[in-house]
Amino acid sequence: MEEKNKKEIQKTTIGKFGILEISVLLILTCIFSMTSGLFLGNKFLREKEIAHDIPPELNEVIDNYNYIVENFYGDIDKKEIVKGAIKGMIDSLGDKYTSFLDQETSETFNIQLKGSFTGVGVEIVNSVEGITILSVMEDSPAEKVGLKKGDVLLEIDGTDVSDKSSSDFTDLVKQKDGKFEVLIKRGEEQLIKELYKDLVILKSVHTKTYEQKDKKIGYLEITLFASNTFEQFKDQLEKLEKENIDGLIIDVRWNSGGHLSSVEKMISLFLDASHVIYQTENKDGIEMTYSSGTVTKKYPVVLLSNGESASASELLMGALRDELDSIIVGTKSFGKGTVQELNKLTSLDQYKITTKKWLTPKGNSIDKIGLEPDIVIEQDPDYYQNFDESKDVQLKKALEIFSTP
């Protein structure tokens, strides 16, 4: 649960106070962690090509574009004018899930959904001591060279960064090729570590087992529905099933969503092809999507939910409750029941636009409503002090269900 604890600390701190600047050293640019998981995941994405047909009503836009280009007194960047026009169209729709993503934000967005990146694999924060490592990602270059949570970054290849911001530090890192040295402070000791960049896989599935009154209960936590989450989930589920589990807990607390294709395949592991897993509604009507699975699981499944469980998380919970009679434990989910499509521009910017509403298999909309748990239980506030699992009353309640006759 250590990885989960790190993420919850980050979310809780930023969500309440908004004062920490979290930064992740990714790819070859400065990539910032979002201050809310909702931006990252409260959406389903399917890419499509931008249509190039020009309707008559755009004549006024074209006429004014030509007038501006021909008459503006000063230098003009035509690409920026076009980008500004597209951004204006998106902003005018007034939908919080329809938005324009500039190149930097697009890179962050794409990396999170891809589930991997090239970098050193640390999250850093600006603290009173300087640039401090908030977490070190598993199997990353940072972990392999021995960097640890709490280390303070002082220098990179001899350049003093003690009074720099986290973004300044990442700007320096993105320029590096091959190995480079970082000077860190750990307690009262100063150490030099030789760091490098490599492929880092974001692990979005974590597992363990519990013994509950002579029953073996599997536990799968999903932190994000990235494009590589399904393979991680399938692998861990198969390992648990080989241990002959008597039941399964799927934890999507704090999971704000991600790829529609990932959650579709994950649901299909539990339901055969006779089951509807969700419905979509657009201007042309309602369409049902069926499972691609071949079997329906026999063991019971309990789902853990909270107010940050959104989008793909809600689709998973809705499908398994409607079609597998699974029980949801915790607090009401976020209530994000719309589908977005992602369009890429030649400028490398992107925009996402709401095109559909999704419904549960039984045809219920959860948009702006959320899923009400079958067993409502608020988390013990003491749990958030140090994320002591013994105080996780929602998990305890989920485990108790399996011991009920």
Structure confidence by residue, pLDDT tens digits, 245-269? 999 999 999 998 888 899 999 999 9
Both structure tokens of 341:
């499509």
The Cβ-side half-sphere exposure at 27, using a 13 Å CA radius, reads 16
Range of the structural domain that residue 279 is part of? 205-402
Both structure tokens of 355:
């095109």
Low-confidence winner among 137-146, 226-235, 338-347 (lowest mean pLDDT):
338-347
Of the candidates 340, 350, 352, 397, the residue annotated as catalytic is 340
Both structure tokens of 144:
């392999």
Greatest mean pLDDT among 29-38, 81-90, 324-333: 324-333
**What local confidence, expressed as pLDDT, does residue 8 receive?**
38
In a domain, 107, yes or no: no
Instruction: Kindly list the distances between the CA atom of residue 358 and the CA atoms of 174, 181, 187, 206, 372, in Å, as whole numbers in the listed order.
Output: 40, 50, 51, 27, 17
> Are 319 and 276 found together in one domain?
yes
> Are 166 and 212 found together in one domain?
no
Which residues lie closer than 8 Å to 283 by C-beta, 6 or more apart? none
The arithmetic mean of pLDDT across residues 78-102, rounded, is 89
Low-confidence winner among 19-28, 89-98, 145-154, 265-274 (lowest mean pLDDT):
19-28
| Residue 121 near residue 142, CB atoms below 8 Å | yes
Active site residue 340: yes
In a domain, 244, yes or no: yes
> Are 167 and 228 found together in one domain?
no
**What local confidence, expressed as pLDDT, does residue 193 receive?**
95
Both structure tokens of 322:
């409607």
**What local confidence, expressed as pLDDT, does residue 4 receive?**
39
**What local confidence, expressed as pLDDT, does residue 21 receive?**
30
The arithmetic mean of pLDDT across residues 174-193, rounded, is 92
263-267 CB contacts, 8 Å cutoff, 24+ apart = 263/225, 263/312, 263/315, 263/316, 264/289, 264/292, 265/230, 265/234, 265/292, 266/225, 266/229, 266/230, 266/233, 266/234, 266/316, 267/291, 267/293, 267/315, 267/316, 267/319, 267/320
Instruction: Kindly list the distances between the CA atom of residue 116 and the CA atoms of 120, 137, 180, 261, 347, in Å, as whole numbers in the listed order.
Output: 12, 11, 22, 17, 23
pLDDT over 90 at 219, yes or no:
yes
In a domain, 64, yes or no: no
Distance between CA atoms of residues 360 and 335, nearest Å = 12
The arithmetic mean of pLDDT across residues 101-105, rounded, is 72
Q: Looking at 243-325, list the stretches that DSSP marks H as alpha helix, in order from N- to C-terminal side.
A: 260-268, 312-324
Active site residue 148: no
In a domain, 104, yes or no: no
The arithmetic mean of pLDDT across residues 49-66, rounded, is 76
Which residues lie closer than 8 Å to 99 by C-beta, 6 or more apart? 90, 351, 352
Residues of the chain by 3-state class (helix, strand, coil), percent to 5: 30, 30, 35
**What local confidence, expressed as pLDDT, does residue 125 receive?**
84
In a domain, 135, yes or no: yes
Q: Render pLDDT for 138-153 as a digit per residue (tens, 0 to 9).
A: 899 999 999 999 999 9
pLDDT over 90 at 58, yes or no:
no
> Are 174 and 244 found together in one domain?
no
The larger pLDDT score, comparing residue 57 to residue 318, is at 318
**What local confidence, expressed as pLDDT, does residue 170 receive?**
83
Active site residue 336: yes
The arithmetic mean of pLDDT across residues 180-202, rounded, is 92
Q: Render pLDDT for 282-314 as a digit per residue (tens, 0 to 9).
A: 989 999 999 999 999 999 999 999 999 999 999
Low-confidence winner among 7-16, 73-82, 207-216 (lowest mean pLDDT):
7-16
Boundary (domain end) residue, out of 179, 201, 223:
201
> Mean pLDDT over all residues of the chain?
84
In a domain, 54, yes or no: no
Distance from chain centroid for Cα 19: 21
DSSP character for 73?
S
**What local confidence, expressed as pLDDT, does residue 350 receive?**
86
> Are 329 and 382 found together in one domain?
yes
The DSSP code sequence of 144-158 is HTT--TTPEEEEETT
Relative to beta strand 22-26, strand 122-127 is antiparallel
Boundary (domain end) residue, out of 201, 229, 248:
201
pLDDT over 80 at 17, yes or no:
no
> Are 277 and 226 found together in one domain?
yes
In a domain, 81, yes or no: no
> Are 274 and 359 found together in one domain?
yes
- Work out the pLDDT band at 109, boundaries 50, 70, 90: low
Single pTM value for the model: 0.76
pLDDT over 50 at 36, yes or no:
no
Indicate the burial class of 222 (C-beta count within 10 angstroms; 0-12, 13-18, 19 or more). Answer: buried
Q: Looking at 270-372, list the stretches that DSSP marks H as alpha helix, in order from N- to C-terminal side.
A: 312-324
Taking each helix axis as running N to C, give the angle between helix 260-268 and helix 229-242, from 0 to 180 degrees, rounded to the nearest 10: 20
The DSSP code sequence of 3-60 is HHHHHHHHHHHHHHH----EEEEETTEEEE--S-HHHHHSS-EEE-PPP----GGGHH
Of the candidates 10, 135, 311, 326, the residue annotated as catalytic is 311
Boundary (domain end) residue, out of 162, 177, 201:
201
The larger pLDDT score, comparing residue 235 to residue 345, is at 235
In a domain, 53, yes or no: no
Both structure tokens of 59:
């004549």
**What local confidence, expressed as pLDDT, does residue 35 receive?**
25
Residue 190, domain CATH: 2.30.42.10
- The proportion of the chain whose per-residue pLDDT surpasses 70, expressed as a percent, equals 84
pLDDT over 70 at 23, yes or no:
no
> Are 302 and 355 found together in one domain?
yes
> Are 181 and 283 found together in one domain?
no
| Residue 318 near residue 264, CB atoms below 8 Å | no
- Work out the pLDDT band at 106, boundaries 50, 70, 90: low
**Domain total of the chain:** 2
pLDDT over 90 at 320, yes or no:
yes
Distance between CA atoms of residues 46 and 63, nearest Å = 33
Residue 228, domain CATH: 3.90.226.10
- The proportion of the chain whose per-residue pLDDT surpasses 90, expressed as a percent, equals 54
CB atoms closer than 10 angstroms to residue 276:
18
> Are 282 and 363 found together in one domain?
yes
**What local confidence, expressed as pLDDT, does residue 41 receive?**
37
Plot region of 87 (φ>0 → left; ψ -120 to 50 → alpha; else → beta): alpha
> Are 144 and 283 found together in one domain?
no
Q: Of 188, 267, 183, 173, which Cα lies nearest the Cα of 222?
A: 267
The arithmetic mean of pLDDT across residues 149-166, rounded, is 90
Of the candidates 43, 83, 265, 336, the residue annotated as catalytic is 336
Q: What distance separates the 2 farthest-apart alpha carbons in the chain?
A: 81
pLDDT over 80 at 103, yes or no:
no
> Are 153 and 255 found together in one domain?
no
